[in-house]
Amino acid sequence: SAAISAADLQSFSEYLKGCKRILALLGAGLSASSGLPTFRGAGGLWRSYDATSLATPGAFNANPGLVWQFYSYRRHMALKAEPNRAHYALAELSRRNKDFITLSQNVDGLSQRAHHPPEQLHLLHGSLFDIKCTSFYCNYSRDNDFTDPIVPALAIPSQTAHPDPSTIDKTGAEASQSLQNALSQSRAGHEVDISDQRNPIPDLAPADLPQCPKCKNGLLRPGVVWFGESLPADTLRAVDNWMEAGPPVDLMLVIGTSSRVWPAAGYVDEARDKGARVAVINMDPDDLPGRGLDHGDWFFQGDAGVIVPEILK
């Protein structure tokens, strides 16, 4: 890519050859070239909502139907998207180097679908496809649920146009009919984006949303980490163990993240304190991690989908 200077590419490649312990932090920009919108900046809107304003327990409690429509749309889009060359390049580097771990803030499942070795992939913010009960007293959860839509009422219009009869019960069929009516301005037979601003967002009753099969009392929710919630304890522990275990960290890759969200962003300075040189891959030269760039760091400006496979080659 024209954005990479030959000198930077050469010094990075030379350094990479001698690296043993490598850490990567991934953000939404990695999946931008797979067509998935990021959270901040251009594309950070779902309909009229700021995407980050919906990613809170308060938003879910206030309007679970709205928040479920946001996540149902994101599940659908993620399933339709394909991993890009950067996801594959990172998976390949993991296979070559068992002392390389990746901390992903992404919940879209694209690294897993690019066959990233699971034991080297730590999901800091959970997954859109893990589902858990919201009831404080219930511990129900299930992973890798790719049902789309997860309940009929959450179908987007292109799905309700040709409903799969096997997934629709009576209540669900009624619910999906009402969604279809609510979105009747959409062009029949086309893949209609639920983010289309002309269509009103249907009001969904809690009864139409995913229900817990165990306690039969709580609503289910996506197994992602919302603002104010703790990151998965076992994941944090595994990352800490890796940090503490070995010799110094040689390299920290920071790919497609605005580095605004904690504690994820804090790993960059932690790796730096352990000796790591940092390589940032981002479209925006202002989105630098922690203390910014040091002498000996790299900044590769541009599309991660192009740059990451180029520099890891």
Active site residues: 125
- What residue spans of the chain are helical by DSSP H? 6-17, 29-32, 51-54, 57-62, 64-80, 85-96, 110-113, 157-161, 170-182, 233-245, 266-273, 304-312
Residues in the chain: 313
**Contact call for residue 94 and ligand BJW (CB under 6 A):** no
**Contact call for residue 87 and ligand BJW (CB under 6 A):** no
Residue range at the interface with ligand BJW (CB under 6 A); choices 5-13, 40-48, 75-83, 163-171: 40-48
Q: Which strand (E) or helix (H) includes residue 227?
A: none
Name which position in 33, 134, 176, 186 contacts ligand BJW (CB under 6 A): 33
Backbone angles phi, psi at 263, to 5 degrees: -80, -5
Query: Judged by CB, which is closer to ligand BJW: 172, or 305?
Result: 305
> What's the min distance (Å) between Cβ of 246 and ligand BJW?
26
Question: Which structure tokens are listed for 283?
Answer: 């479209």
Name which position in 225, 252, 271, 276 contacts ligand BJW (CB under 6 A): 225
Name which position in 28, 93, 192, 194 contacts ligand BJW (CB under 6 A): 28
Query: Judged by CB, which is closer to ligand BJW: 175, or 254?
Result: 254
Which DSSP letter does residue 43 get?
Answer: T
> What's the min distance (Å) between Cβ of 258 and ligand BJW?
3
CA atoms within 13 A of residue 150's CA, in its CB half-sphere: 30
Among candidates 59, 83, 88, which has minimal Cα distance to 71? 59
**Contact call for residue 38 and ligand BJW (CB under 6 A):** yes
Under the rule (CB under 6 A), what is the footprint of ligand BJW?
27-29, 32-33, 38-41, 44, 52, 55, 105, 107, 125, 224-230, 256-258, 260-263, 281-284, 287, 303-304
